C-alpha cells in the first residue's frame, strides 16, 4: 500500500515513466541457474510487487515513535548537512587515479555527497515537515547529474581491467558504489518521494531513469564478473552489489517482469557465493569485510524474505549461514579491536543493529547479546559515515533494541577456522590469533604463520594492517608495499628472502589441540618461502597455556641466516633476556643474537595512523642455531 505514494508522485509524468517498461530491443541473458540457495528452492511470484524496505515519511506512526534522543540526533545531523555545501566533483579529481594513483581525493568528495544526502534524508523522515525538501531535492539532483557513479578505481568492465580516466555515460560500470548509489536513491524515492516532488516535480522520474540506465539494465543485460561463475571466485563484491541491486529493484516501481528477472539473477549470485564460501563461516577478508560480505548476505536474504518468507526461513537455518553470522563475535578482541589479518585494520567500527538483526535471523543469542552490547557501548550511533541510506534507517528504526537490559558477557571462547587456518584462543589475560593457511587469500598479505597477541585491549604483537588504498594496492606492485610483506609481520626471513604470494606458498601439516588448559597449533612453514630462501624445514609451534603464558617456538633447517621480526605498537625495551613492554608483557627469548629495533611512523597515511597513531616498531632478532623460543607472560 505504501508504494502507492511513489506511483502517485509519478502519475502526472507518464511520458517519463515509459523508460521503465521492459526494453523491447534488449534480450535478457538467461541465467541457466535454478532459483535456489544452498539447495533450498526459492519460489518467486511471476510478477513480484515492490517492497516497503522502510516506512515512508508519511507513516508518522512509525517515525514519530522514535525516541527523543534519536530524533534529536537525526535533526542535528540534518542541520549540519544543510549548512555544508556538497563538494564539486571535477575532471581533475576523477583523473587523479589514472594520473598518479590517488584515490583519496576524489573519494572524499564523492562519499561526502552521499553522506550529506543521508543526513538530510534521515532528518526529513524523522521530523515529517516539508522544510527539508529543497536541500534534499538538490542533493539528489546533484548525484543524478554525476556522469558516472562508479569510482575511478573501479572504472573497468572486467576484473582487473585497465581503468579509464573518466566514466563513459553510454556504458556505465556497475561497481560497489554505483550499486550503493542506486540503492540510496531508490530508498530515498520510495520513502520521501512526495517531499521531493513537492519541491522539484519529476525528480523521482529522473531518479528512476538514472537507476535503470546505470544499474538495472546493465545488471539484466550483461554478465558482470562479480555475479559469480564467470571470472574467478566470488568475494564481498558479489553480495554487496547484489543486495543493493535488489534494493533498487524492490523499492522502485519497475515493470514486474524485470523485477522478477533481477531476483532470479540475484538468487543465482547468492547461491554461487554461498557454494564457494567455507562451511565454517570464516571471512578470509577479515572483520572489516565481514560488514560487506556477511552483513550484505543478511541484507540480501532479508529482502528476499519479503518475497518468499517460508523458503528463506529454511535458508536462515542452514549451518553455513549461522556460522557466517557468528564469525564477527569469534574474531573480536576487545573494545573496537579485532583479529586483523589481510587488509583488515586493527581498529574497526562498532557493531550496528544489522549485526543484531543477523543474530535474530539465525537465532544466535550469544551473537545478539554481543552485538547489542557493542553497538550500545558508546550510546546509540546515527552512523554518520555510512553512505547506505537503508542501513541508517534500520539503525534508527530499531534503536530501541539497545534499551533492553543484557545478560552478563558469556565466558570467552576459542575458535578454529580450518578453511583459512585461523586459530583464535583466549584466557583471562590474553587473546592469541595464529594464521596458517596460504598466501592467496582475498586481500592477501604474505603472512602465513604469523601471530597476533593482545593483553585485554592492549596489543602485544600486532598485525599492521593495510595503508590507504591507492592504485598500487591492487596492482602487480602490491607486494612491494611494506605492509604486505612477511618481514613486517611476526615472521622470519632467511638471508633477506621473504614469503611470496600464491596458493602454493602455504602451511603444511597443521595440527591443532584445544582444551581447557591449552590452545596449541603446530605447522610446517618451509613451503611458504620460495626456493631462494634455501629453507629445508621450518616448524613453528604456538601455544596459549591458559592463564600462564604464551610460547612461540621456531625450529629451522636452513642454509641462510634467519632473522625473526616482531611487530609492536609501542617501543619495547631490550634486556639481557629479551624484550619488555612496560606494564604489559615480558618476552623471554632463547637462541637470539643481538636484537635491533626499527621505528616506522604512520603519519601521512590516514588508515594506518587511525590504528597506530605513534607508528609501529619492529624488533629484528637474529637466530643463533636452529631453535628460537619466545615465552610471553
Q: Residue 204 is placed in which grid cell?
A: 523521482
> Per-residue pLDDT averaged across 544-554, rounded?
97
What does the pLDDT average to over 228-255? Answer: 94
Q: Residues 303, 262: contact at Cβ < 8 Å?
A: no
140 CB contacts (<8 Å, ≥6 apart)? 117, 185, 188, 196, 203, 207
pLDDT score recorded for residue 404: 87
The pLDDT, as a whole number, for residue 13 is 41
Grid cell listed for 59:
507513516
Residue 21 has pLDDT above 70, yes or no: no
Return the SS3 of 284. coil
Give the span between the Cα atoms of 134 and 71, in whole angstroms: 20
Dig out the grid coordinates for 510 from the structure: 597443521
Long-range CB contact pairs, 615-619, < 8 A, 24+: 616/462, 616/464, 616/567, 616/568, 616/569, 617/567, 617/568, 617/569, 617/570, 617/571, 617/572, 618/488, 618/565, 618/566, 618/567, 618/568, 619/565, 619/566, 619/568, 619/572, 619/574, 619/579, 619/595
The rounded distance, in Å, linking the Cα atoms of 556 and 375 is 45
Classify each residue of 311-326 as buried b or exposed e, where b means 16 or more C-beta atoms within 10 Å of its C-beta.
bbeebbebebbbbbbb
pTM for the full model? 0.93
pLDDT tier at 34, thresholds 50, 70, 90? low
Distance of CA 350 to the CA centre of its chain: 13
Distance CA 173, CA 122 (A): 28
Residue 557 CA to residue 538 CA, distance in Å, equals 6
Contacts of residue 632, defined as CB under 8 A and 6 or more positions apart, other chains included, come to 430, 453, 460, 549, 550, 551, 552, 585, 586, 587, 588
Instruction: End-to-end CA distance of the chain: give it in Å, rounded.
Output: 63
- Taking only the tens place, the pLDDT of each residue in 481-496 is 999 999 999 999 999 9
CB 449 within 8 A of CB 435: yes
Which residues, in sequence order, are bridge partners of residue 631?
Answer: 551, 588
488 DSSP 8-state letter? G
8 A C-beta contact, residue 389 and residue 118: yes
Tell me which H or E stretch contains 75: helix 68-82
What's residue 229's pLDDT? 82
Task: Give the CA distances from residue 528 to residues 449, 525, 559, 561, in Å, rounded to whole numbers and listed in that order.
Answer: 9, 6, 16, 17
Query: Which residue is listed with cell 534480450?
Result: 27
Whole-angstrom CA distances from 195 to 5, 242, 585 are 11, 28, 59
Burial class (CB in 10 A: 0-12, 13-18, 19+), 353: buried
DSSP type of residue 212: I
In this structure, the number of other CB atoms found within 10 A of the CB of residue 550 comes to 25
The ranges assigned to domains in the chain are 4-22+37-403, 415-632
Sequence-distant (≥ 6) Cβ neighbours of residue 189 within 8 angstroms? 6, 196, 204, 207, 208, 251, 252
**598 by DSSP, 3-state: which?**
strand
Confidence at residue 411, expressed as pLDDT on a 0 to 100 scale: 86
Q: Which of 160, 109, 117, 156 is nearest to 136 (CA)?
A: 117
Q: Over the stretch 416-453, which tens digit does the pLDDT of each residue have?
A: 999 999 999 999 999 999 999 999 998 999 999 999 99
- Among 431, 457, 237, 487, residue whose Cα is nearest residue 347: 457
3 state DSSP class of 425:
strand
CB 207 within 8 A of CB 10: no
Topology at the third CATH level for domain 415-632: Beta-galactosidase; Chain A, domain 5 (2.70.98)
| Contact in structure between 560 and 498 (CB atoms under 8 Å) | no
Average of per-residue pLDDT across 320-339:
97
**What is the CATH topology of the domain spanning 4-22+37-403?**
Glycosyltransferase (1.50.10)
What is the structure's pLDDT at 591? 97
Whole-angstrom Cα distance, residue 320 to residue 338? 22
Q: Is the pLDDT of residue 262 over 90?
A: yes
Confidence of residue 30 (pLDDT cuts 50, 70, 90): very low
pLDDT reading at 102 higher than 80: yes
Amino acid at each position: 500500500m505504501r508504494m502507492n505514494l511513489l506511483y502517485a508522485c509519478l502519475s502526472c509524468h507518464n511520458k517519463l515513466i515509459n523508460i521503465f517498461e521492459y526494453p523491447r530491443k534488449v534480450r535478457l541473458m538467461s541465467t541457466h541457474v535454478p532459483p535456489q540457495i544452498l539447495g533450498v528452492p526459492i519460489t518467486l511470484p511471476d510478477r513480484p510487487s515492490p517492497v516497503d524496505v522502510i516506512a515512508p515519511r508519511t507513516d508518522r506512526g512509525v517515525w514519530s515513535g522514535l525516541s527523543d534522543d534519536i530524533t534529536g540526533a537525526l535533526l542535528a545531523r540534518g542541520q549540519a548537512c544543510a549548512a555544508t555545501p556538497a563538494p564539486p566533483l571535477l575532471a581533475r579529481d576523477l583523473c587523479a587515479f589514472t594520473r598518479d594513483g590517488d584515490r583519496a581525493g576524489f573519494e572524499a568528495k564523492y562519499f561526502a555527497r552521499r553522506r550529506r544526502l543521508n543526513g538530510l534524508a534521515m532528518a526529513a523522515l524523522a521530523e515529517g515537515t516539508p522544510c527539508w525538501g529543497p536541500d534534499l531535492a538538490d542533493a539528489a539532483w546533484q548525484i543524478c547529474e554525476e556522469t558516472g557513479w562508479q569510482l575511478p578505481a573501479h572504472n573497468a568492465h572486467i576484473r582487473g581491467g585497465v581503468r579509464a580516466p573518466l566514466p563513459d555515460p553510454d556504458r556505465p560500470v556497475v561497481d560497489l558504489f554505483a550499486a550503493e548509489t542506486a540503492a540510496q536513491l531508490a530508498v530515498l524515492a520510495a520513502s520521501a518521494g512526495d517531499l521531493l516532488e513537492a519541491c522539484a516535480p519529476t525528480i523521482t522520474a529522473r531518479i528512476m531513469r538514472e537507476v535503470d540506465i546505470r544499474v538495472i539494465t546493465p545488471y539484466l543485460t550483461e554478465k558482470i564478473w562479480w555475479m559469480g561463475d564467470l571470472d574467478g571466485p566470488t568475494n564481498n563484491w558479489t553480495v554487496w552489489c547484489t543486495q543493493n541491486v535488489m534494493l533498487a529493484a524492490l523499492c522502485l516501481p519497475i515493470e514486474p517482469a524485470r523485477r522478477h528477472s533481477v531476483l532470479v539473477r540475484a538468487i543465482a549470485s547468492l547461491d554461487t557465493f554461498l557454494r564457494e564460501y567455507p562451511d565454517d563461516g570464516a571471512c578470509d577478508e577479515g572483520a572489516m569485510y565481514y560488514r560487506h560480505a556477511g552483513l550484505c548476505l543478511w541484507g540480501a536474504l532479508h529482502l528476499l524474505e519479503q518475497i518468499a518468507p517460508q523458503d528463506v526461513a529454511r535458508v536462515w537455518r542452514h549451518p553455513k549461514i549461522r556460522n557466517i553470522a557468528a564469525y564477527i563475535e569469534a574474531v573480536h578482541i576487545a573494545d573496537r579491536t579485532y583479529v586483523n589479518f589481510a587488509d583488515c585494520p586493527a581498529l574497526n567500527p562498532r557493531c550496528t543493529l544489522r549485526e543484531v538483526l543477523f543474530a535474530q535471523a539465525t537465532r544466535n543469542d550469544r551473537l545478539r547479546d554481543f552485538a547489542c552490547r557493542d553497538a550500545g557501548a558508546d550510546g546509540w550511533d546515527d552512523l554518520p559515515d555510512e553512505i547506505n541510506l537503508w542501513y541508517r534507517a534500520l539503525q534508527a528504526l530499531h534503536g530501541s533494541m539497545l534499551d533492553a537490559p543484557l545478560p552478563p558477557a558469556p565466558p570467552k571462547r576459542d575458535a578454529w577456522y580450518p578453511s583459512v587456518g585461523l586459530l583464535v584462543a583466549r584466557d583471562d589475560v590474553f587473546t592469541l590469533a595464529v594464521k596458517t593457511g596460504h598466501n592467496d587469500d582475498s586481500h592477501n598479505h604474505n603472512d602465513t604463520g604469523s601471530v597476533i597477541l593482545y593483553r585485554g585491549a592492549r596489543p602485544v604483537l600486532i598485525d599492521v594492517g593495510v595503508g590507504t588504498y591507492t592504485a598500487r594496492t591492487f596492482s602487480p606492485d602490491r607486494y612491494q608495499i611494506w605492509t604486505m610483506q612477511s618481514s613486517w609481520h611476526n615472521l622470519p626471513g632467511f638471508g633477506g628472502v621473504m614469503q611470496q604470494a600464491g596458493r602454493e606458498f602455504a602451511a603444511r601439516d597443521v595440527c591443532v589441540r584445544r582444551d581447557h588448559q591449552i590452545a596449541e597449533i603446530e605447522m610446517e612453514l618451509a613451503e611458504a618461502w620460495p626456493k631462494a630462501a634455501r629453507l629445508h624445514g621450518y616448524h613453528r609451534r604456538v601455544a596459549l597455556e591458559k592463564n600462564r603464558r604464551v610460547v612461540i617456538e621456531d625450529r629451522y633447517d636452513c642454509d641462510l641466516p634467519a632473522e625473526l621480526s616482531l611487530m609492536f605498537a609501542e617501543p619495547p625495551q631490550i634486556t639481557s633476556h629479551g624484550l619488555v613492554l612496560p606494564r604489559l608483557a615480558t618476552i623471554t627469548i632463547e637462541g637470539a643474537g643481538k636484537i635491533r629495533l626499527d621505528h616506522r611512523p604512520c603519519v601521512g597515511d590516514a588508515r594506518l595512523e587511525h590504528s597506530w597513531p605513534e607508528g609501529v616498531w619492529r624488533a629484528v632478532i637474529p637466530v643463533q642455531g636452529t631453535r628460537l623460543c619466545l615465552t610471553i607472560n
